[in-house]
């Protein structure tokens, strides 16, 4: 399963929410994990998610894999989500794939809070 956003503004704050944040003193924006690290240096992903669980070489490109899991309280079965980041030029994350159980994939989401002083 892959978590998908709907609509053309999904995962991006609208100008209205930015204006409201300015007027109200701050807002919280939730960004999916794959969008939070794409285009960023690998070190940014390590700062967010810790050390990767696995490193692979696929078609000559380095891919780092992070994993998160949630455990079903009733059945005690673990469900997993993987974030795979392909590294490009100057150790920048060129592309990402988020795949797995939706509740586990939510653990990769990043929350940004804007504060006005």
Tens-digit pLDDT profile for residues 24-37: 445 555 666 677 78
Domain housing 68:
33-108
Confidence of residue 1 (pLDDT cuts 50, 70, 90): very low
Q: Has residue 16 been placed in a domain?
A: no
- 73 has a pLDDT exceeding 70: yes
Q: Has residue 24 been placed in a domain?
A: no
- Contact between 67 and 82 under an 8 Å Cβ cutoff? The reply is yes
Confidence of residue 15 (pLDDT cuts 50, 70, 90): very low
Q: Has residue 12 been placed in a domain?
A: no
φ and ψ of 53, to 5 deg: -85, -30
d(CA 55, CA 32): 22
- 53 has a pLDDT exceeding 50: yes
How high is the pLDDT of residue 29? 59
Q: Has residue 23 been placed in a domain?
A: no
Q: Has residue 18 been placed in a domain?
A: no
Confidence of residue 45 (pLDDT cuts 50, 70, 90): very high
| Mean pLDDT, rounded, for 84-107 | 92
Q: Has residue 73 been placed in a domain?
A: yes
Q: Domains in the chain: how many in total?
A: 1
């Amino acid at each position: 399963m892959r978590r998908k956003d709907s609509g053309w503004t999904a995962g991006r704050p609208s100008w209205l929410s930015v204006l409201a944040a300015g007027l109200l003193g701050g807002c919280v924006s939730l960004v999916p994990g794959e969008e939070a690290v794409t285009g960023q240096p690998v070190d940014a992903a390590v700062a967010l998610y810790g050390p990767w669980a696995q490193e692979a070489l696929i078609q000559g490109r380095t891919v780092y894999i992070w994993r998160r899991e949630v455990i079903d309280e009733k059945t005690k079965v673990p469900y997993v989500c993987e974030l795979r980041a392909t590294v490009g030029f100057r150790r920048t994350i060129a592309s990402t794939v988020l795949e797995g159980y939706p509740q586990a994939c939510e653990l990769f989401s990043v929350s940004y809070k804007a504060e006005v002083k």
